[in-house]
A and B are shown apart, each in its own frame.
Chain A
Amino acid sequence: MHVILNGQPLEVADGARLPSLVPDARGVAVAVNGVVVCAGDWPATVLQDNDRIEVVTARQGG
């Protein structure tokens, strides 16, 4: 199946969960389809076809 990771299409295995896309939770946060998913909930989050996943971290900014 396909998901959209940070705007880019990505092929993932059926039943894939969030940690397979984001192995290290330090300093990052994840939203799936516009809703924040806490790091503690990543292992239980099974991705669905066409999920839109945003993974963000801190960058320089004013």
Chain B
Amino acid sequence: MDVADLGVEIAGTRVPSRLWLGTGGLTSHDTVRRVVEAGRPGLVTVSMRRTSDTGANGLLMTLRELGVRLLPNTAGCRSAREAVLTAQLAREALGTDWVKLEVIGDELSLLPDVIELVEAAAILVDDGFTVLPYTTADPVVAQRLVDVGCAAVMPLGSPIGSGRGITDPYAIESVRAAVSVPLVLDAGIGTASEAAQAMELGCDAVLVATAVTRSENPVAMARAMHLGVQAGALARGAGRVPRRQQARASSPMQGRVKI
């Protein structure tokens, strides 16, 4: 049943799936193709890097053939200035004004520098970009990002590539409560149940890269993530039962056998 995945609307544009996929870590263009076909992501992220002498860009050709929307990131940038230039280069190279804005503040944890992030977001919004910032799961920062015009907020579940899942679900719920723009869980997901959990906590989409690309079977994990995101979205809409201190029998008490 695929009805749960109606996609998510970002800045007036419908992204056709709530699963978003990062390509970092995939080893071949053929694997990229099979992973995208299995996961059917609403968009696919790419990084911007210096050209080499290897000729035509096979990755780009593969993604163009698949017809999937590209979301360039500013991965590796450590200042607002670097991130703004990288976003502008991506717009020129790929013909999209959408950007996953990432400004790293600490090389060990890869946590964002939210001061530089808000500054870069403001500059890029003024320059006409649709800005999707990767940020800490902090409702105050999320509100600042919305205040400067970000189209979504993408809080981390745990550090990039750590596969530790959502270490502070309350923080994600706090961000959800703070802002009304789309919320995309970005970073930390390790497996499909955690993608479902992100949706249950109120996220509108989930961006996974490492969890798929470095799994033992990326194609199978992409499919699992697709289903996990759908399951979580359905469960969120269905409304879970409240947690109770004590048991509550689900079978009726009347009509029991008596001996």
Report how many residues on chain B are interfacial, defined by Cβ distance under 8 Å. 37
Q: Which residues of B contact A55 (CB under 8 A)?
A: 50-51
Chain B proximity of A14: nearest CB distance (Å): 24
A61 with B85, Cβ < 8 A, contacts A27-B57, A27-B60, A27-B93 known: no
A62 with B22, Cβ < 8 A, contacts A27-B93, A54-B89 known: yes
Interface of A is mostly: strand
A-binding segment of B5-13, B40-48, B238-246: B40-48
Residues of A6-56 contacting chain B, CB below 8 A: 6-7, 27-31, 34, 36, 38-39, 54-56
A56–B50 touching, CB < 8 Å:
yes
Cβ contact of B24, chosen from A36, A38, A56, A61, cutoff 8 A: A61
Chain B proximity of A58: nearest CB distance (Å): 4
A-binding segment of B68-76, B165-173, B198-206: B68-76
Chain A residue with the shortest CB-CB distance to B22 = A62
B93–A62 touching, CB < 8 Å:
no
Chain A residue with the shortest CB-CB distance to B76 = A61
B51–A61 touching, CB < 8 Å:
no
Q: Does B59 contact A (CB under 8 A)?
A: yes
Q: Which residues of A contact B32 (CB under 8 A)?
A: 60
A31–B85 touching, CB < 8 Å:
yes
B24–A62 touching, CB < 8 Å:
yes
Q: With A and B bound together, what is the CA distance between A31 and B93 in angstroms?
A: 11
Q: Which residues of A contact B59 (CB under 8 A)?
A: 58-60
Q: Does B94 contact A (CB under 8 A)?
A: yes
Q: Does B15 contact A (CB under 8 A)?
A: no
Q: Which residues of A contact B65 (CB under 8 A)?
A: none
Chain A residue with the shortest CB-CB distance to B87 = A36
Q: Which residues of B contact A62 (CB under 8 A)?
A: 22-25, 45, 47, 73, 75, 160-161, 187, 207, 209-210, 213
Cβ contact of B47, chosen from A27, A36, A39, A59, cutoff 8 A: A59
Q: Does B14 contact A (CB under 8 A)?
A: no
B75–A56 touching, CB < 8 Å:
no
Q: With A and B bound together, what is the CA distance between A20 and B63 in angstroms?
A: 28
Q: With A and B bound together, what is the CA distance between A58 and B64 in angstroms?
A: 12
A60 with B24, Cβ < 8 A, contacts A6-B51, A27-B57, A28-B51 known: yes
A61 with B22, Cβ < 8 A, contacts A6-B51, A36-B85 known: yes
Q: With A and B bound together, what is the CA distance between A45 and B89 in angstroms?
A: 17
Q: Which residues of A contact B47 (CB under 8 A)?
A: 58-62
Residue ranges of A at the interface with B (Cβ–Cβ < 8 Å): 6-7, 27-31, 34, 36, 38-39, 54-62
Given A27-B94, A56-B49, 5 further pairs, Cβ under 8 A: A28-B51, A29-B89, A39-B92, A55-B51, A61-B22
